[in-house]
Homo-oligomer: A and B are copies of this chain.
Amino acid sequence: MGAKIRVTVWNEFRHEVKNEKIRAIYPNGMHTAIGEGLLEDGSFEVNYAWLDKDAEHGLGEEVLANTDVLMWWGHTAHGEVKDEIVDRVQKCVQEGMGLIVLHSGHFSKIFRRMLGTTCSLKWREVNEKERIWTIEPAHPIAAGLPEHFELPHTEMYGERFDIPAPKEVVFITWYEGGEVFRSGVTFERGYGRIFYFAPGHETFPIYYDRNIRRVLCNAAKWAAPRIVRSIGCPCVQPLEEIKSKLEE
């Protein structure tokens, strides 16, 4: 059996501190509920980081050098994430690190940075039902999942989702109130793989759900680096046999 995949779960970790109801659902922060789901699988080593952990939001050079896949949950404090840390994360993704962006992370600096679009969407909070349809059952991120599964109460995220056309649309969500959403989508940037997954509103116990945990485990395996390599812009020599001609 190969080495474990090293996942760093990053959480803004403000809601759980400030809001009693949310804390009741996630007493140790959403990140630990996400991490618990990863650890059950047995394939991962899990590290936690959050906005106020240290001066680098828990994302120092060494942490990232030891991270295969970074998960990102943020919401109210996207603006407090320092630009130099976003630069650092972007470089790591370009060089091969996987990135999994969760729910309100659609508006995070790092997601918008990787995609170049506004990442806007429609939204509504009325505790409605969500049905997630598996569009690509043969995709590794859909492994072991049924053709659809439900969340009884959710925040609605609706189209148009302002993202570049994804590489793959793995899931599309149906909402009780009348909207649809490309809720599980993949991208590649540089050597890194990116997965965005919409479910995960802080007021519902979504990260304890079996299917949601299955998606996150699958995604972390899928996003683990195939290569990690720096990217240069070298001046190169022509074919040997053409050199003399070109130097004339």
Contact = CB atoms under 8 A, between A and B. Distances in A.
A160 interface: yes
A4 interface: no
A69 interface: no
Nearest to A114: B116
Contacts of A242: 128, 176-178
B180 A116 contact: no
Nearest to A245: B176
B133 A236 contact: no
A3 interface: no
Contacts of A21: none
B173 A116 contact: no
Pick from A117, A188, A191 the residue with the most CB of B within 10 Å.
A117
B115 A116 contact: yes
Contact of A123 (B117, B176, B233, B246): B233
A172 interface: yes
A56 interface: no
A120 B232 CA distance: 6
A120 B233 contact: yes
A239 interface: yes
B133 A179 contact: yes
A205 interface: no
Interface in A228-248: 229, 231-239, 242, 246-247
A128 B234 contact: no
A12 to B, nearest CB: 18
A168 interface: yes
Given A116-B114, A164-B189, A227-B137, A126 B177 contact: no
A178 B133 CA distance: 10
B172 A159 contact: yes
24 contacts: A90-B116, A113-B116, A114-B116, A116-B116, A122-B235, A123-B234, A126-B247, A131-B178, A131-B239, A136-B160, A138-B188, A138-B190, A138-B191, A159-B172, A162-B190, A164-B189, A165-B188, A169-B169, A172-B182, A174-B174, A174-B178, A175-B238, A176-B246, A180-B180
Given A115-B189, A174-B180, A177-B246, 16 more contacts: A94-B118, A96-B138, A107-B233, A122-B235, A124-B238, A128-B242, A128-B246, A133-B158, A133-B180, A137-B227, A138-B190, A138-B191, A138-B227, A139-B226, A162-B231, A165-B188
